[in-house]
Amino acid sequence: MDILSDQIVENQIKIIPPKDYKIPTSYNLDIPNISEANKQYLSIVFEDFESFLRFPVVIDKFKNHGERRKWRFETLSRIKDPLQAELFNAQLQQNKMKGNKLAIILYHLDVLYEEEILPSRLVDPLISVLQPILPRAETNKRARTRLGSPWGRLAISKKIAVVDEISERLVEILNYFAK
């Protein structure tokens, strides 16, 4: 996180490092009645869940996306080394607070549930946390307004609590498959 930390505007951005989750080092994919394709898919799921757990929480106090974009552009223009600029940009994307990172988790949970790869006791609690804040466009078009998604309207403290709960539940899922 060095390059990102070096570019922080005083009192505008805060980085909360990831917790030291006990992420399994290997997984048991010898599960009866699961196809080879689903076993390969599980490898992708594990990778995405592990990545999410390693992301920090990056919080900013910009009033809107315009201010954030301006800061990002100005910061990128100050970084002379193109590789450092690319690293900075990549590190900004590695953030548990980004709605698209949460949407990926929700997608994986839907697949794991539909394919009956995970028991509902592990899937249901996570879906119940994610669904209200990330409504599916086809089922809840009114949830998205000019004010943004429900996730975008949550207070920062609530968002942190949500990503903490999601993280803990992802660890439970990974441990379910641990060797």
CA–CA separation, 177 vs 46, rounded Å? Answer: 9
Q: How far apart are CA 95 and CA 90, in angstroms?
A: 10
Alpha-carbon distance of 171 to 34, in angstroms, equals 21
Could you tell me if 130 and 102 are in contact, meaning their C-beta atoms sit under 8 angstroms apart? yes
Residue 19, both tokens = 């917790």
For residue 22, the SS3 value is: coil
> What pLDDT score does 141 carry?
45
Q: How far apart are CA 20 and CA 148, in angstroms?
A: 32
Q: Are 68 and 62 in contact (CB under 8 A)?
A: yes
CA–CA distance from 153 to each of 59, 69, 107, 119 (Å)? 14, 19, 21, 31
Nearest-5° Cα angle at 88, 84 to 90? 115
pLDDT the model gives residue 153? 82
* CA pair distance 140, 150, nearest whole angstrom: 11
Q: What is the pLDDT along the chain (179 residues), one digit of tens a residue?
A: 455 555 555 557 788 889 999 999 999 988 888 899 999 999 999 999 999 999 999 888 888 888 888 888 888 888 888 888 888 888 888 899 988 899 899 999 989 988 889 888 999 999 888 888 886 544 444 444 434 678 888 888 999 999 999 999 999 999 999 98
CB 151 within 8 A of CB 159: yes
Rounded-to-integer distance, Cα 38 and Cα 167, Å: 23
Q: What is the pLDDT of residue 19?
A: 93
Q: What angle (nearest 5°) sits at the alpha carbon of residue 176, between those of residues 172 and 179? A: 125
Distance CA 22, CA 26 (A): 12
* pLDDT at residue 142, rounded to an integer: 45
